[in-house]
Amino acid sequence: MSVDITGAEILFRLPLGIVITETQVNMWIVMLVIAMLCKYLTSNLKIKPEGKRQVIAEYIVNLANKFIKDNMGPGFKNFPPFIAALFSISLFSSLLGLLGMYPPTADLNTTLGWAVVVFILILYYKFKTNGFGGYFKGLMEPLPILAPFNLIGEFSTPISMAIRLFGNISTGVVISALVYAALAWLSGVVFQWLPGTLANIPYLQLGLPAILSLYFDIFSSVLQSFVFCMLTILYISQASTKE
């Protein structure tokens, strides 16, 4: 018995070393679903809401607006859609595991890309608040000799965010794969006395993986998406307050 733990499947290769993998395709699917959902929810907006759709759309928008206002204060006009995009793409990507598809968040490249965006935003707000000089001066504190450590601290933020999300989701993928393989083997051992092909059915795979999936695919997906967004909000609002 062998279990292969691999990354995303490469679907085709383009020049310049660009590869299109399951990660990309699945993410496009997720984006398409979210875009269609948006179109569907906002298709018939009225000043007096008439359907459930509008109520849901307003609920989501109000929730995002309020969440950003409560946690970051006023003046972050673009952040509700940005955080909503981050949360929805992360959540839907992770939830793809439920459908047996490869979750794009189980690919470090994906989470790293998002973390880089967050890092750039953090730097932007730090520069904006303290100015270039102020930012580099801040790195020298409390002692200039600690500057390298502060610099490491700066870069560890996106890396830790990327690896946290990647780790949590990919762990789910890995553990699911291991459990499935183990249960298939155990089934083979326990039910080998059954005649013919009946012995090859992995009966034990029924049940336990569902419970694991409940944790890894649903709970962990929601929680890690929320954590990723919450950290983004906290880091950026911290970056935009004067030191």
Partner 1 sequence: MPETLEFLSINFWQTLMAIGNLLILFMILKKFLFKPVNDILEKRAMEVDTIYSDAESLRSKAEIDKETYENKLRHVKSETDLMIKSATERAENRKEEIINEANKEAENRKKKAESDIILAKKKAVDEMKDDIVEMVIDLATQVVEKEINTKIHETIIDGAIEKLGESV
Binding site for partner 1 (CB under 8 A): 4-10, 16-19, 21, 23-24, 27-28, 31, 34-35, 38-39, 41-42, 45-47, 54, 57-58, 60-62, 64-65, 78, 80-82, 84-86, 88-89, 104, 107-114, 116-117, 170
Identity of the residue, 10 or 234, whose beta carbon is nearer to partner 1 in the bound complex: 10
Rounded least distance, CB 20 to partner 1, Å: 9
Rounded least distance, CB 13 to partner 1, Å: 9
Rounded least distance, CB 42 to partner 1, Å: 5
In this structure, are residues 51 and 138 in contact, taking their beta carbons and an 8 Å threshold? no
Identity of the residue, 171 or 241, whose beta carbon is nearer to partner 1 in the bound complex: 171
CA distances from 88 to 33, 60, 62, 113, 239 (A): 10, 11, 15, 16, 24
Identity of the residue, 130 or 166, whose beta carbon is nearer to partner 1 in the bound complex: 166
Whole-angstrom Cα distance, residue 232 to residue 71?
Answer: 11
Phi/psi zone of residue 3: left (φ > 0), alpha (ψ -120 to 50 degrees), beta? beta
Closest listed residue to residue 87, CA positions, set 219, 227, 220:
227
Identity of the residue, 65 or 205, whose beta carbon is nearer to partner 1 in the bound complex: 65
In this structure, are residues 13 and 24 in contact, taking their beta carbons and an 8 Å threshold? no
Rounded least distance, CB 222 to partner 1, Å: 18
Whole-angstrom Cα distance, residue 45 to residue 216?
Answer: 36
Rounded least distance, CB 168 to partner 1, Å: 14
